[in-house]
Amino acid sequence: MHAQRPAAAGTRRVRSALAVGALLVLVVCPVRAASPGVWESWKSETFSLGPRESLQVRVGFADLPVRAWRLVVDGGEHNLDLTVLRVRGEVLLYARNDETLHEVDIPWGRGEEVIAVVTNREHPGACVVNLMGPPRDQAQAAYSYLVNRALEAYAGGRRLEAEELCRKALDADPRDAEAMVLTAGFRRDRGFYDQAAALVDAALGGDLAPEMRTLAADMRAELLTLRAPLPVPLRDGVLAAETDLAKGRPGPALQTVDRLLAGGLDLGAPVKSRLQLLRGRALADLGRGFEALDAYTTALQLNRSRADEAVIYHYMGRLYLGMENLLQAQGAYTMALQIGLPSGLDLQTREDLKRIEQALQKQR
């Protein structure tokens, strides 16, 4: 870090300091910050401040390419104000006044930069600016800027925003392995198991952070049980239908599923249930609600898995909600939650249930 004092006296003095970068630790999903016990000091400097004097600290990722850091500003016996701004997007991360000690965990990754402004209160004194990071033997390459924003959105319950940010991350860098893993989780939660498996395999072939590699390996094992063993033509057809649905092309998806169902292949009940679920989703997207409901009902009758049953009930609830059948939607969503949904669908279902309950209260 370095400091500068303007030559002019009688005005507020501002010092600039180049410092350090940081990390966001993913523990499966959602995200949890690392515990305070794992931090150690990477850079520390003491500054003397006059009354109402300010100190500006600028922190870029290139200064310390790790995946987490904590800004600690200690005024000792003197109170300080602290504001922390993310430069990109001009997002205010922290603003608190008149405290002796400030501690701020800052999400971090490639392309990150923040500015912290420390302002002294009424009396002259010293403050210590400490940049805390993981132990040096645990410092690892960070996630991309958009992946970090996706993790923040997911942790804040904004799943759709998180999914869109991952899509943008892959558009910006198709080799972003962490974005692949997160997108695979979203695809898995939506029932696009083949798409999810393809993304996981691609991510595991790339440069993944250790905890993301563990997550991807666990997801691969989970997907092996979720995906019914399919012959190659059927597997390719299911993947094509999933891709069309994900890209908003329900017409081609429906044609593919109907061709598979009528193709004379020896399909077991679990495979037929999976195809009927895809068929119902395509019909629902086409606005053919009653046909979609028939497909979902058939999927339930053929289903042999409690986990898949919960997913079918979720999509039935979504269909009923779109048809403004609030009580039926409430019943289907409640059943899905009781059976147990993947994390992303669970969050969506609970958000929809809140809206349904609010609408039903207005009707009473």
pLDDT in tens, 289-330: 999 999 999 999 998 777 788 899 999 999 999 999 999 999
Instruction: List where CATH 2.60.120.380 sits in the chain.
Output: 16-138
CA distance 52 to 212: 45
Beta strands, E only, the chain = 16-18, 40-49, 54-60, 69-74, 80-86, 91-99, 101-106, 113-120, 125-133
Q: What are phi and psi of 87, to 5 degrees?
A: -65, -50
Helix (DSSP H) and strand (DSSP E) numbers for the chain: 12, 9
Q: Which CATH class, in words, describes the domain spanning 145-209?
A: mainly alpha
Q: What is the side-by-side order of every strand in the sheet holding 16-18?
A: 16-18, 54-60, 113-120, 80-86, 91-99
Q: Which amino acid is at 142?
A: A
Q: What is the pLDDT of residue 26?
A: 31
Q: What is the pLDDT of residue 258?
A: 95
Q: Which residues of the chain have pLDDT under 70?
A: 1-38, 137-142, 225, 228-229, 343-344
Whether omega for the bond prior to residue 65 falls within 30 degrees of 0, making it cis, is no
Instruction: List where CATH 1.25.40.10 sits in the chain.
Output: 145-209, 232-363
Which pair of tokens denotes residue 215?
């997550």
In terms of Cα–Cα distance, which of 63, 72, 55 is closest to 106? Answer: 72
Q: Which CATH class, in words, describes the domain spanning 16-138?
A: mainly beta
Judge whether 178 and 147 are in contact, CB under 8 Å. yes
Q: What is the pLDDT of residue 141?
A: 56
**Stated pTM of the model:** 0.50
Q: What is the pLDDT of residue 28?
A: 28
Cβ-Cβ contacts under 8 Å for 193 (sequence gap 6 or more): 187, 223, 226, 227, 242
Q: What is the pLDDT of residue 4?
A: 40
CA distance 52 to 123: 8
Q: What is the pLDDT of residue 3?
A: 38
In the CATH scheme, what is the homologous superfamily, with its name and number, of domain 232-363? Tetratricopeptide repeat domain (1.25.40.10)
Q: What is the pLDDT of residue 191?
A: 76
